[in-house]
Structure 1
Amino acid sequence: MPRDIPVGNGDLLITFDRHYRIRDLFYPYVGRYNHSIGHVQRFGVWADGEFAWIEDDEWEREIRYKADTLVTDVRLVHKGLELELHCSDAVDFHEPVYFRKIVVHNLADRPRDVRVFFHLDLSIAENAVGDTANYDPSTSAVIIYKQDNYFLVNCCDQHKCGIDHWAIGTKRLGGAEGTWRDAEDGKLGRNAISQGSVDATVGFNLQIPAKGEGHLHAWIAFGHAYDEVKDLNRRILETGPERMLGRTEAYWKLWCRKEPVDTTPLPEHVRDLFYRSQLVMRTQIDNRGAIIAANDSDVTQFGGDHYSYCWMRDGALVAYALILAGQSELSRSFFRYSAKCIGDQGYFLHKYSPTGALASSWHPWMLDGQRVLPIQQDETSLVVWALRKHFETFRDVEFVKPLYEPLVAKPAEWILEYRDHNGLPLPSWDLWEERRGIQTFTVASTIGALNAAAAFARDFGELDRAAAFKEGAERMRGAMKRHLYNEQAGRFARLAVPNDDGTYRLDMTCDSANFALFAFGAFEANDPKVIEEMRQLKEALWIKTDIGGCARYQRDYYHQIERNDIEKVPGNPWVICTLWQAQHAIEVASSVDELRKTVMPYLEWCVQRAEPSGVMAEQFHPYTGDPISVSPLTWSHSTFVVVCLHYLRKHAELTGKPMFKPAPDFATA
């Protein structure tokens, strides 16, 4: 089930499913640890002897965010209970605390005793062994802890603070379902403590007049020691949860609109998704620099692993979106994290954990009895390319100085060493992590990296290095034309596999990744070969159903839906692949009218495919449009941001109008 309305602050991330149930709680890193390991954290309401958990079918749900902020706007109606709930969820922008404000509207014409219940099913540090849950009378809260992870659950309304009742017990042992069952009669047993595989349910009572309303604030404070969460609970009570929610809402509005970009050329719904995409991206970025691909634990059931890692390719391309959006602090953090990961060898391995440790991999170190590098070379190349984009935008010399050797010079020298007799990169794994060879995407991104490294070397006065890197890029571009282009097909191969005689066997499968030909500067976007490439890719890979969108490549088997009519449905539509067509259309547009007519349909397609909250998945069902695989995918949102900003830049060029609005004059405001 896709994740929706994620809220976070770079240390703490909370995700929900479509039923508005919390499913993932990541702390103290985004992506590590998931203290729920995907188990449902329930939320229910009792009134007049009747009970309903939020997943019950009778609930009507509207799950969205408040505009331009990471505070949710959720409306829940249960006609049988005669109740309407308005909920606002947020993670404080600074403190590790999750809030939920609930306003309960009594739709009946009689006073009501309404009881709200929250259930926590934690597996602390992703393991249920040795957890403890206890009621803490000094804070009137339930605390769940293990070793250096503490979680304090509390509530208050305008009259009182502290939970009214609680249940603490065992889950998934000896047939025990968990304490959430105790809530269904409206009463909890108040067991004081339990250890092992435990869970807890807390309740809060509201007396609501006829046709009136009541409200409460609930929160989970996160920390590494009892005194830490107790002190945080005290600060919440002193400051007031409503004030903390308000400041968080204001902070995120300031954050996503800090650059005075004139977005009026975008339709309002596209503009809304542009700002929403920046905010969703931020929830997936750890404060120590790791840019996580996705945090959706449901995908674990398909392969025994998840997406809560940093792939350097994804990270570099997301960093490029951050650079365009003016979020220099986050892009700097990513490049510092990258320098920590790369080590002395000059290249990145498959993927990394949020802490910078090497993560799980399926790339072997030996093939056919020969030692090979288990790498995707484009990951190294794109970090070099993105760092240059950062420097050209912000000109932060002091920041780049310590990164020049580990993230520019050494990788570029390794790139020159890791070439074949024609000057092409030696085989590595492709960006889809499925095939090993010499990919057009990898070659194009590596040309971009060598050009970036040459520019850096010139800046640092190392003209010999600059000349070597530039010559390597030019030789690689020439080899790409000679060996990867197929005259008969009129386009580039997606992959070349070396033969024993020094020639190459070309895989001519149409692959959306060949947009890289122009994206990183290997060729101009208006080069006739590039124009024909993009035309053929769209013709072959566009989904010919009412859903539309572009597939990754012909006969894409990952989460494949259509296995027979490949001409109609070559694969599932992906956000990134669809938007790569938009990137090319922007580059070749020669008038405002052409720009709008050729690009806007791709942006509108994304708006149609997004959840009502604005969250976008990795890919979609080609017949129903339902999200498939992880959701949200950070790369989907970053590509939408890139395309919007490229569109606005091109619009400014074509109209002669500035892309940025005048900064406000604070002296006279």
Structure 2
Amino acid sequence: MHQSDLDLGVIGNGSFGALVDKQARVVWSCLPAFDGDPAFCALLSPRAHEGGDFGIELEDFAGSEQHYLTNTAVLRTVLHDAHGGQVEVIDFAPRWRHDGRFYRPPSIIRRIRPLAGSPRIRVRVRPLADWGARIPETTWGSNHMRWLLPGFTLRLTTDVPVRFVRDALPFVLAHPMELVLGVDETLHRSLADYAQEAQQRTEDYWREWVRYLSIPLEWQDAVIRSAITLKLCQYEDSGAIIAAMTTSIPEAPGSARNWDYRYCWLRDAAFVVRALNRLGATKSMEDFLRYIFNLASTDGSLQPLYGIGLEEKLDEHEVESLAGYRGMGPVRRGNLAWLQKQHDVYGSVVLASTQLFFDQRLKDPGDVHTFARLEPLGERAWALHDVPDAGLWEFRGRTAVHTYTAAMCWAACDRLAKIATRLQLPERATLWRERADAIGQRVLARGWNAQLGHFTDTFDGSHLDASLLLLADIGLVEATDPRYVATVEAIGNGLRHGDALFRYIAPDDFGAPETSFTICTFWYIDALAAIGRLDEARALFESVLARRNPLGLLSEDLAFDDGQMWGNFPQTYSHVGLITAAMRLSRSWQEAS
């Protein structure tokens, strides 16, 4: 385990998420949804005002430990003072089934109780408004406080004396106390009873959800934690799964590679769907497919990413009121990548949607009408497969015909041919098979560099790119193909550094990359297993697992030298990679019996 500012826990319920540090301080939460104003923004260092956090501060703090209650998203932190005092803090966002729907308000419930000694604590609740720019207007009553945020009034109901909270006064915690922060509604029942019931019902929900997951024999804890994290990153209203809960945590120290990841990237879609499918998280998968298909039902044109409510315009702005993670700005809100041309998305969406036609568990399987709405995506893939684009990594300063993009366009046509065959549409199957074959031949001819002896990042190119590891995974080549094996070996020699991988090493708009891209390391692990180097793949997988934070969570990037986490957090794609690799590498259940 590596000490890091990203040693954070995540709680949430399908409406919003919050990050809690080792001292039981909520340091990041966008309310009332993932893409909202971060009322708690301490993680990104507000410039003008103290706060942006929700802390349970123990006087003479000496240390803490933190873990999740087994198979749940309920977080337990135990704080120790220098005199033997101990305080337990239970944090969760309520979620359970109620009257045929899920009760999941944008609410953080915090339960605190003394475990030993006579601990003195302060409760500090300091939300900020307008991205940390101002202190919101506050009102208070006999057992509550209210903060008037833009478009949302936040209410704290508590049995801690309100004056103690308002003025952050220290007091001896002699008995358990409850804090319920959320929507501006009066609680018409005992606070203690509600908090107790909410915790029990939320624990029951998560344990029941986990109970129906399909998991491998080995690395069960890691897979379960990754599955819960993936679920926590799904916005249930639309089914969208965000890339991460944060914005602007740099990919490397001082690199200015600071991006807003609180949106849904289509490039991830096929891999996320496959991970959910392998887990047996069918409802989550169906919800995500519904979101994707809502995007695919227009004229066939797609952009690289969308908002959680299907928003197309995600205008990018620099936020001056936040100094940034460890003071490393800029902080960006919105993401200009929505304007880029990224043609692999057509393959990603068709690959993800293929599940609709072959999975008999689904409530609304695909039919000829569904297929007709997918075909315009195939037409785009066919027309654009050899047209320069920004590529998988969304280069802002250059375009090229990327081998991975063309391969994904092949995948779109290939899967449409298979779907048409399944639906007994022979003419359409023939058309899409001919197009897939034509693209495939072009990719294999122009994406291969005979002089270097491996596939390259662009047509007629000379550089390596980790996305080439996916050529066998999507089915363009067999894993036994000598060209693929040679490419995996070249990537191991050229992009691997220690136990992690660069996505590429050629300089881009921001210079040469400095950190490993965690999903690429998982792709390499999968590729090693596919070409028969299983022991090496398992050893590398164990090394990545050791680099998770103490709660089993991953960000986007890892530093090669000290293992520090960088990039937005928690990173959905990293956890998808973990799940997929564990499924591939684990011994079978039969071997255990």
In the other structure, the counterpart of 1:392 is 358
1:148 is displaced (CA, Å) by 4.7
User: How do residues 81-100 of structure 1 correspond to structure 2 at under 5 angstroms?
Assistant: 82-93=84-95, 94-96=103-105, 97-100=107-110
Using a 3 Å threshold, how does the CA distance of structure 1 residues 390 and 66 change in structure 2: closer, same or farther?
farther
Contact 2:129-2:150 at 8 Å conserved across structures = no
User: What is the aligned length?
Assistant: 545
1:411 is displaced (CA, Å) by 0.4
Partner AA of 2:112 in structure 1: I
Partner AA of 2:504 in structure 1: Y
Could you say what the CA RMSD is over the residues aligned between the two structures, in angstroms?
A: 3.0
The DSSP-based 3-state class of the residue aligned with 1:102 is strand
In the other structure, the counterpart of 2:518 is 575
Contact 1:320-1:390 at 8 Å conserved across structures = no
The DSSP-based 3-state class of the residue aligned with 2:497 is coil
Unaligned runs of 5+ residues in structure 2 are 47-51, 96-102, 317-337
In the other structure, the counterpart of 2:387 is 426
Which one of 32, 41, 51 corresponds to residue 53 of structure 2?
41
2:171 is aligned with 1:217: no
Contact 1:441-1:494 at 8 Å conserved across structures = yes
The DSSP-based 3-state class of the residue aligned with 2:77 is strand
Contact 2:121-2:173 at 8 Å conserved across structures = yes
Cα distance in 1 for residues equivalent to 2:258 and 2:278: 36
In the other structure, the counterpart of 2:249 is 299
The DSSP-based 3-state class of the residue aligned with 1:282 is helix
In the other structure, the counterpart of 2:345 is 379
Cα distance in 2 for residues equivalent to 1:22 and 1:463: 57
Cα distance in 2 for residues equivalent to 1:78 and 1:285: 37
Contact 2:57-2:124 at 8 Å conserved across structures = no
1:395 is displaced (CA, Å) by 5.2
Partner AA of 2:582 in structure 1: C
Cα distance in 2 for residues equivalent to 1:303 and 1:406: 40
1:206 is displaced (CA, Å) by 3.1
Cα distance in 1 for residues equivalent to 2:453 and 2:127: 57
In the other structure, the counterpart of 2:445 is 482
2:542 is aligned with 1:604: yes
Using a 3 Å threshold, how does the CA distance of structure 1 residues 28 and 340 change in structure 2: closer, same or farther?
farther
In the other structure, the counterpart of 2:227 is 278
1:557-589: CA deviation from partner (whole Å, max 9, x where unpaired)? 6987xx7xxxxxx84222211111221233333
Contact 2:401-2:458 at 8 Å conserved across structures = yes
Contact 2:30-2:39 at 8 Å conserved across structures = yes
Cα distance in 1 for residues equivalent to 2:552 and 2:291: 29
Cα distance in 2 for residues equivalent to 1:4 and 1:558: 30
Which one of 371, 382, 387 corresponds to residue 416 of structure 1?
382
In the other structure, the counterpart of 1:290 is 240
Contact 1:492-1:533 at 8 Å conserved across structures = yes
Cα distance in 2 for residues equivalent to 1:486 and 1:554: 18
Contact 1:341-1:357 at 8 Å conserved across structures = no
In the other structure, the counterpart of 1:121 is 127
Bigger radius of gyration: 1
2:435 is aligned with 1:472: yes
Cα distance in 2 for residues equivalent to 1:619 and 1:64: 23
Cα distance in 1 for residues equivalent to 2:359 and 2:371: 20
Cα distance in 2 for residues equivalent to 1:542 and 1:90: 39
Cα distance in 2 for residues equivalent to 1:73 and 1:121: 22
Using a 3 Å threshold, how does the CA distance of structure 1 residues 355 and 538 change in structure 2: closer, same or farther?
same
**TM-score (structure 1 length as normaliser):** 0.75
User: How do residues 66-81 of structure 1 correspond to structure 2 at under 5 angstroms?
Assistant: 66-79=69-82
Using a 3 Å threshold, how does the CA distance of structure 1 residues 646 and 304 change in structure 2: closer, same or farther?
closer
1:482 is displaced (CA, Å) by 1.6
User: How do residues 77-226 of structure 1 correspond to structure 2 at under 5 angstroms?
Assistant: 77-79=80-82, 82-93=84-95, 94-96=103-105, 97-107=107-117, 112=118, 114-123=120-129, 126=131, 131-137=136-142, 140-146=143-149, 148-156=151-159, 163-166=161-164, 182-183=167-168, 186=170, 206-207=173-174, 214-222=175-183, 226=184
1:398 is displaced (CA, Å) by 3.1
Cα distance in 2 for residues equivalent to 1:354 and 1:236: 35
Partner AA of 1:206 in structure 2: L
Cα distance in 1 for residues equivalent to 2:258 and 2:545: 31
Which one of 280, 300, 318 corresponds to residue 326 of structure 1?
280
Using a 3 Å threshold, how does the CA distance of structure 1 residues 398 and 379 change in structure 2: closer, same or farther?
same
Cα distance in 2 for residues equivalent to 1:353 and 1:13: 16
Using a 3 Å threshold, how does the CA distance of structure 1 residues 28 and 464 change in structure 2: closer, same or farther?
farther
1:94-126: CA deviation from partner (whole Å, max 9, x where unpaired)? 33121112222343xxxx4834413222316x5
2:561 is aligned with 1:549: no
In the other structure, the counterpart of 2:334 is none
Cα distance in 2 for residues equivalent to 1:234 and 1:113: 31
1:457 is displaced (CA, Å) by 2.0
User: How do residues 251-266 of structure 1 correspond to structure 2 at under 5 angstroms?
Assistant: 251-261=205-215, 263-264=216-217, 266=218
Cα distance in 2 for residues equivalent to 1:417 and 1:647: 38
1:310 is displaced (CA, Å) by 0.9
1:235 is displaced (CA, Å) by 5.4
User: How do residues 20-35 of structure 1 correspond to structure 2 at under 5 angstroms?
Assistant: 20-35=24-39
1:321 is displaced (CA, Å) by 1.0
Using a 3 Å threshold, how does the CA distance of structure 1 residues 143 and 68 change in structure 2: closer, same or farther?
same
1:417-475: CA deviation from partner (whole Å, max 9, x where unpaired)? 33xxxxx4312111111142111211222222211111222233432222111111111
Using a 3 Å threshold, how does the CA distance of structure 1 residues 415 and 344 change in structure 2: closer, same or farther?
same
1:368-424: CA deviation from partner (whole Å, max 9, x where unpaired)? xxxx98321112211111221354334537342487257521101222233xxxxx4
Contact 1:550-1:573 at 8 Å conserved across structures = yes
In the other structure, the counterpart of 1:211 is none
2:482 is aligned with 1:528: yes
Unaligned runs of 5+ residues in structure 1 are 53-57, 157-161, 169-181, 187-203, 208-213, 363-371, 419-423, 497-505, 564-569, 662-669
In the other structure, the counterpart of 2:335 is none
Using a 3 Å threshold, how does the CA distance of structure 1 residues 539 and 339 change in structure 2: closer, same or farther?
same
Cα distance in 2 for residues equivalent to 1:555 and 1:295: 29
Using a 3 Å threshold, how does the CA distance of structure 1 residues 407 and 68 change in structure 2: closer, same or farther?
farther
Partner AA of 1:145 in structure 2: L
Contact 1:292-1:315 at 8 Å conserved across structures = no
Contact 2:85-2:119 at 8 Å conserved across structures = no
Using a 3 Å threshold, how does the CA distance of structure 1 residues 527 and 216 change in structure 2: closer, same or farther?
same
In the other structure, the counterpart of 2:330 is none
Partner AA of 1:92 in structure 2: P
Using a 3 Å threshold, how does the CA distance of structure 1 residues 391 and 7 change in structure 2: closer, same or farther?
farther
